[in-house]
Amino acid sequence: MNLIDAHAHVFDQLSGFGADGELRAIGNGRARWATGDVIDLIPPGYGDTAFTAEALLRLMDENAVEKAVLLQGGFLGFQNDYLHETHRKYPDRFAVAATFDPFCRNAGKILDHLLEDLRFTIFKFEMSTGCGIMGNHPDFPLDADWLMPFYERIAAMGGILVFDLGSPGDGSNQPEAIARIAEQFPTTQIVVCHLMSPRRNHRVELEHGLEVMKRETIHFDLSALHWKVRPESYPFPTAREFTKIAKDRVGFERLMWGSDAPSTLCHETFGYLVDYLLPEFTSSEAEKVFHDNALSLYFKS
Question: What pLDDT does residue 145 have?
Answer: 98
Is residue 162 within 8 A of residue 124, CB to CB? The reply is yes
Residue-wise pLDDT tens digits, 53-101? 999 999 999 999 999 999 999 999 999 999 999 999 999 999 999 999 9
CA distances in angstroms from 10 to 22, 75, 161, listed in the order given? 18, 11, 19
Question: What average pLDDT does the segment 110-138 reach?
Answer: 97
DSSP 33: E
Is residue 217 within 8 A of residue 190, CB to CB? The reply is yes
Question: What pLDDT does residue 273 have?
Answer: 96
Residue-wise pLDDT tens digits, 142-172? 999 999 999 999 999 999 999 999 999 999 9
Task: Return the bridge partners of 155, or none.
Answer: none
CA distances in angstroms from 76 to 17, 53, 126, 250, 278, listed in the order given? 7, 14, 11, 31, 29
Instruction: Using the predicted structure, report yes or no on whether residue 227 has a pLDDT greater than 80.
Output: yes
Task: State which CATH number among 3.40.190.10, 3.40.50.12780, 3.30.450.90, 3.20.20.140 fits the domain covering 3-10+52-298.
Answer: 3.20.20.140
Q: Model-level pTM?
A: 0.98
Enumerate the domain spans of the chain: 3-10+52-298
Q: Using CA atoms, how far apart are residues 214 and 203, in angstroms rounded to an integer?
A: 16
Residue-wise pLDDT tens digits, 238-252? 999 999 999 999 999
